[in-house]
Amino acid sequence: MSIDIIQGLIGGVAATIVWFIVGAVVYMNPFVAKIYKKYENDPSVKNRKDVKAFIINTFVFNILIQCFIFAFVYLYIQAILPGTLILNTLYFGMILVLVKIIPRLFDMYVQSKYPTTLLIIEVINGAIGSFVIAFVFALLI
């Protein structure tokens, strides 16, 4: 078995760009932004005074690096996935939700006082992001 590194890098970059755009829509839409605004003075919610630095750090550390890792995981397990665009998206999306979103939710719930409403938004948006990333990989890799 061989893994095409170029294909993994292209898939990782493409998934990063697509998720960054979709993430902006799901997190910054008026409905969700209004909910986050309600909690901005809650002591469990970090105050992000330097929005530019936050966005750059989020892009590089929370999205780009993860998408590269996930792209190579996808390449590695691609042979055992069903093979169709829809099924590969569903299967790999579920894998991402199970290894990334659910543990993060549990960790945040157990170890912090982060508001439950925001945790629910994080899970929903995280699941959306997982399936978006899986779709990009199923389409391009």
pLDDT, tens only, 17-42: 999 999 999 999 999 999 999 998 89
Longest dimension (CA), the chain: 52
Residue 51 has a pLDDT of 78
Domains in the chain: how many in total?
1
Look up the domain containing 125 and give its range.
5-140
Kindly tell me if the per-residue pLDDT of 1 is higher than 80. Answer: no
Is the separation of the CB atoms in 27 and 125 below 8 Å? yes
Q: Report pTM.
A: 0.92
Backbone angles phi, psi at 42, to 5 degrees: -70, 130
CA–CA separation, 96 and 98 (whole Å): 5
